[in-house]
Chain A
């Protein structure tokens, strides 16, 4: 009886997993979150040049900063909120790492990307995740 209950629960869960399976969102072209998505993907691919190309011209960070930054390979970034105000935008995300092990343990951190619109494109300002205080020690 109990085995049947567990079996039904597991089958229902797996059916739900298959039906609800979703890949990463695809933001509209030209949206601030699309720039953030490209930036995070480039950082995770260790493509520092591509990532730096998405920073605003006045950002203190450069390719070397990104080369030296530590990034966990096993993480996911979720979109929480997007606010656009004229030529400025703010994208709030949560970064979760450490999931998926035999003993589940997750670390979730909130991060905010601030963007400006320059030359018709959204670019990230300041020292965005995973960087901090770029140029301070130089």
Chain B
């Protein structure tokens, strides 16, 4: 009885707060300053997010209690109390705040498309998506008999999928979809990563069956890796389809978009493929030539299906994202091509460098003490050869593209190539100094301890290996850098010192124009017309003809037009400042 009274009292308080919030909103909105407006939005949407989570947890808890009522003998009072309290307090407040938000947006379209609202939609959508995915996976696994029943997972699946759907719909109503791009790419990344894991588990399970490597007979329970992988793959594929294939891939191809495709797609795909292929190749070589840890082929190759599956998945990711990049490729080499080539060359070089370091370590070890050359040393050497065998072709493939292009001035002057060379020279310098210091320290210590020459040399095998590899890499790239510097002569500046390309060029074209004219070139996008990319030659001709030292270039009626400008504000003339339209802002 007392409990019912307290609950009613609580409901009355919540209703009072909700009504108060709605009444207070109207005069406050008109009276706030722009700064107060933003602070109010931040708190309002943060509170909305917290109330969303609280309400969803409460409702899911109640649904769970209903689903489990036939099978559960006792439910914790604390859990039930939390679910009731979160629902009774959270849901009315959430609805009141949502109504208030709708009214605010109706009166202020700028706020309905503002950054705080977009951040809220992105955060709420991604949180809902993640919780719904975990819950849907558990529910689907239970439906297929792969896992025991979890009523909370079923409840969460319903509640959080609904929350996700509502926020996706709200996002689709934004007049400008571009600010949602980070959320689209984050959802795409989640779908991609989980999809690859699912596909990998599915393929590994399939290969296990095909190669007769499936695990021991089950006494109790079932093990269905193929179905488990398929559940993950199907759910993740749906997310990836929604976020990437139907939205993300068509969004603006800006720096973030390219970073996603290059890093999450191309580079991670290649790293996974190279690593897994190295492990698989090493295992085969050790079986054929080295000293395997087991004579039982079934036990020794137990992990082989997983490595083959990971290689396949990595290559598929790499190939798909390469094809996406290729679909926007320009006939000539752009900065984007350079970023991709030098990034992937770096991946290959890293693998080959680790391999060559191990080779030197093994050689020093064998030279210092030939008695250690046995099965273990052969296995180490095989691991090194594998890393070189996989890493060197990757490095060669992508580095060669850069070297071929380096015959032209564009390549040698490009920021990406110079950054790549400086980064490598910096890293190898640090590695060289560190290896020298460590080697000297260990060597002096061993000599002072009275060790013989062979033991002393053996103790510095790792510093020597790192030193030799770092020195070789540094020497080669220093030679490349010097050759670039000799070939690359800065173009004499002719024409304007500053050019603003307004809706007529992309970043690559602007950079090329800058290199050919010596001017500082900016490229801005026009929001009122579709983006166009004119050729460097056409732009250079217009810029050269403009005459001024600072110029804006735009397209007007299908033709390029250069407008000479002065980037400084006009000097205030007291007589002119009183004229209409010439008043200084503020």
For A18-41 the 0/1 string (1 means CB < 8 A from B) is 001111110100000100110011
Once the chains bind, are A76 and B227 in contact (CB under 8 Å)? Answer: no
* Interface assignment of B214: CB less than 8 Å from any CB of chain A: yes
Once the chains bind, are A16 and B148 in contact (CB under 8 Å)? Answer: no
* Interface assignment of B141: CB less than 8 Å from any CB of chain A: yes
The stretch among B315-323, B331-339, B363-371 that forms the contact with chain A is: B315-323
CB neighbours (8 Å) of A102 from chain B are 133-134, 137-138, 194, 232, 235
Once the chains bind, are A77 and B220 in contact (CB under 8 Å)? Answer: yes
Max chain A Cβ within 10 angstroms of own Cβ: one of B133, B194, B197, B215: B215
Max chain B Cβ within 10 angstroms of own Cβ: one of A2, A10, A22: A10
Q: Tell me the A1-16 residues at the B interface (CB within 8 Å).
A: 2, 5-6, 9-10, 12-14, 16
* Interface assignment of A17: CB less than 8 Å from any CB of chain B: yes
A sample of 4 more A-B contacts (CB under 8 A), given A17-B224, A40-B220, is A16-B206, A23-B222, A76-B221, A93-B219
* Interface assignment of A99: CB less than 8 Å from any CB of chain B: yes
Assess A12 versus B206: contact at CB under 8 Å? Given A74-B147, A101-B138, A104-B228.
yes
* Interface assignment of A100: CB less than 8 Å from any CB of chain B: yes
> Which residues from chain A sit less than 8 Å from chain B, CB to CB?
2, 5-6, 9-10, 12-14, 16-17, 20-25, 27, 33, 36-37, 40-41, 44, 73-80, 93-94, 96, 99-104
Q: Tell me the B301-327 residues at the A interface (CB within 8 Å).
A: 312, 316, 319-320, 323
- Chain B residue with Cβ nearest A34: B219
Once the chains bind, are B228 and A100 in contact (CB under 8 Å)? Answer: yes
Once the chains bind, are B320 and A76 in contact (CB under 8 Å)? Answer: no
Once the chains bind, are B223 and A96 in contact (CB under 8 Å)? Answer: yes
> Which residues from chain B sit less than 8 Å from chain A, CB to CB?
133-134, 137-138, 141, 146-148, 194, 197, 199, 201-203, 205-206, 209-210, 214-224, 226-230, 232-233, 235, 312, 316, 319-320, 323
Per DSSP, chain A at the interface is mixed
CB neighbours (8 Å) of B134 from chain A are 101-102
* Distance (whole angstroms) from the CB of B157 to the closest CB of chain A: 12
- Chain A residue with Cβ nearest B223: A76
Ordered by A's residue number, 7 sampled pairs between the chains whose C-beta atoms are within 8 Å are: A23-B218, A24-B220, A75-B221, A100-B141, A100-B147, A102-B133, A102-B134
Once the chains bind, are A78 and B215 in contact (CB under 8 Å)? Answer: yes
* Distance (whole angstroms) from the CB of B68 to the closest CB of chain A: 14
* Distance (whole angstroms) from the CB of B331 to the closest CB of chain A: 23
Once the chains bind, are B201 and A104 in contact (CB under 8 Å)? Answer: yes
- Chain B residue with Cβ nearest A92: B216
CB neighbours (8 Å) of B206 from chain A are 9, 12-13, 16-17
* Distance (whole angstroms) from the CB of B579 to the closest CB of chain A: 64
Across the interface, B218 reaches (CB within 8 A) one of A5, A16, A17, A77, namely: A77
* Distance (whole angstroms) from the CB of A75 to the closest CB of chain B: 6
Once the chains bind, are A13 and B205 in contact (CB under 8 Å)? Answer: yes
* Distance (whole angstroms) from the CB of A37 to the closest CB of chain B: 5
* Distance (whole angstroms) from the CB of B241 to the closest CB of chain A: 11
Q: Tell me the complex Cα distance, A73–B148, Å.
A: 7
Q: Tell me the complex Cα distance, A101–B138, Å.
A: 7
Max chain A Cβ within 10 angstroms of own Cβ: one of B201, B218, B316: B218
Assess A99 versus B216: contact at CB under 8 Å? Given A2-B316, A2-B323, A104-B201.
no
Once the chains bind, are A17 and B223 in contact (CB under 8 Å)? Answer: no
* Distance (whole angstroms) from the CB of A135 to the closest CB of chain B: 26
- Chain B residue with Cβ nearest A108: B215
Assess A9 versus B219: contact at CB under 8 Å? Given A74-B148, A102-B134.
no
* Distance (whole angstroms) from the CB of A133 to the closest CB of chain B: 24
Instruction: For the complex of A and B, list the 10 residue pairs with the smallest distance between their C-beta atoms, beginning with the closest.
Output: A76-B221, A17-B226, A78-B216, A13-B206, A102-B137, A25-B217, A77-B220, A77-B219, A20-B209, A73-B148
Per DSSP, chain B at the interface is helix
CB neighbours (8 Å) of B210 from chain A are 16
Once the chains bind, are B203 and A13 in contact (CB under 8 Å)? Answer: yes
* Distance (whole angstroms) from the CB of B494 to the closest CB of chain A: 47
CB neighbours (8 Å) of A5 from chain B are 316
Once the chains bind, are B220 and A76 in contact (CB under 8 Å)? Answer: yes
* Distance (whole angstroms) from the CB of B154 to the closest CB of chain A: 15
CB neighbours (8 Å) of B217 from chain A are 24-25, 78-79
Assess A25 versus B218: contact at CB under 8 Å? Given A13-B206, A16-B206, A101-B138.
yes
Across the interface, B319 reaches (CB within 8 A) one of A2, A25, A76, namely: A2
* Distance (whole angstroms) from the CB of A89 to the closest CB of chain B: 14
Q: Tell me the complex Cα distance, A25–B220, Å.
A: 8
Q: Tell me the complex Cα distance, A78–B215, Å.
A: 8
Max chain A Cβ within 10 angstroms of own Cβ: one of B215, B220, B227, B316: B220
Assess A10 versus B215: contact at CB under 8 Å? Given A44-B220, A73-B148, A102-B137.
no
Q: Tell me the complex Cα distance, A49–B220, Å.
A: 19
CB neighbours (8 Å) of B197 from chain A are 103-104
Q: Tell me the complex Cα distance, A96–B221, Å.
A: 10
* Distance (whole angstroms) from the CB of B490 to the closest CB of chain A: 43
Q: Tell me the complex Cα distance, A9–B206, Å.
A: 9
Once the chains bind, are A13 and B202 in contact (CB under 8 Å)? Answer: yes
Once the chains bind, are A20 and B228 in contact (CB under 8 Å)? Answer: no
* Distance (whole angstroms) from the CB of A8 to the closest CB of chain B: 12
Across the interface, B219 reaches (CB within 8 A) one of A6, A37, A74, A104, namely: A37
Once the chains bind, are A17 and B230 in contact (CB under 8 Å)? Answer: yes
Once the chains bind, are A37 and B220 in contact (CB under 8 Å)? Answer: yes
Q: Tell me the complex Cα distance, A40–B224, Å.
A: 20
* Distance (whole angstroms) from the CB of B436 to the closest CB of chain A: 43
Once the chains bind, are A78 and B218 in contact (CB under 8 Å)? Answer: yes
CB neighbours (8 Å) of A101 from chain B are 134, 137-138
Q: Tell me the complex Cα distance, A13–B204, Å.
A: 9
CB neighbours (8 Å) of B201 from chain A are 104
* Distance (whole angstroms) from the CB of B293 to the closest CB of chain A: 18
* Distance (whole angstroms) from the CB of A95 to the closest CB of chain B: 9
Assess A24 versus B133: contact at CB under 8 Å? Given A2-B319, A6-B316.
no
Once the chains bind, are B218 and A76 in contact (CB under 8 Å)? Answer: yes
CB neighbours (8 Å) of B227 from chain A are 17
Q: Tell me the complex Cα distance, A14–B201, Å.
A: 12
Q: Tell me the complex Cα distance, A51–B141, Å.
A: 28
CB neighbours (8 Å) of A99 from chain B are 223, 228
* Distance (whole angstroms) from the CB of B482 to the closest CB of chain A: 42
- Chain B residue with Cβ nearest A9: B203
- Chain A residue with Cβ nearest B232: A102
CB neighbours (8 Å) of A94 from chain B are 216
CB neighbours (8 Å) of A21 from chain B are 224
CB neighbours (8 Å) of A93 from chain B are 219
CB neighbours (8 Å) of B138 from chain A are 101-102
Q: Tell me the complex Cα distance, A14–B379, Å.
A: 37
